[in-house]
Amino acid sequence: MPKKSAAISRKKFLSDQRTALLELKNKLLAEIDAEIKAEREANKDEGMDTYDLASEERDREINVILSDRDRSKGQQIDDALARMADGSYGVCDSCGLEIAEERLRAMPFTRLCRDCQQDQEREAKSQRRFDDGRTYRKLGSTDADEESP
Ligand SMILES: [Zn+2]
């Protein structure tokens, strides 16, 4: 394969990913919108007319309604779009290698390649094991040196 066509397919891939990210974002915003509408309905009885909210107020409202999970997902999507804009999209945060395109297709806003993700999960697991072990040892000891609340 000549270099030129690889560059073109990469460009096509990135534009597909951008579309996927924007779709995800739209979907998230639509879900949030639906929640806000439901909230408005619920507030109607209290005589609140929130229909012509200024955008600043609306943003505040969104922040109140948004769960942490939604917020962090929206953040991840925005981050991915920003990385796309500065050209660092698709590069693993941890090892700096390119993330496989099929992985990016499945998870358009991932920041880690599969290996680093697995390493991180393994690390999290062994960290938990380490904590468990320490708790276990503590149970049998009379050491007054307390670390946990
Ligand atoms: Zn990596």
pLDDT tens digits along 123-132: 998 888 777 7
Q: Which of 27, 40, 103 is nearest to 70 (CA)?
A: 27
Integer Cα distance of 100 and 17 in angstroms: 13
Cβ neighbors of 148 (< 8 A, separation 6 or more) are 135
96 C-alpha vs ligand 1 centroid, how far in Å?
6
Give the model confidence (pLDDT) of 12-34 as tens digits: 999 999 999 999 999 998 988 88
134 C-alpha vs ligand 1 centroid, how far in Å?
30
Q: Tell me: pLDDT of 52 over 60.
A: no
Lowest mean pLDDT among 35-49, 68-82, 120-134: 35-49
Strand partners, 32: none
| Residue-level pLDDT at 130 | 75
Q: Tell me: pLDDT of 39 over 90.
A: no
User: What sign has the CA pseudo-torsion 93, 94, 99, 104?
Assistant: negative
Ligand 1 (ion): residues with CB under 5 Å are: 92, 94-95, 113, 116
69 C-alpha vs ligand 1 centroid, how far in Å?
24
Q: 37 falls in which pLDDT band (50, 70, 90)?
A: confident
Integer Cα distance of 36 and 60 in angstroms: 11
Q: 67 falls in which pLDDT band (50, 70, 90)?
A: confident
Q: What percent of the chain has pLDDT over 70?
A: 71
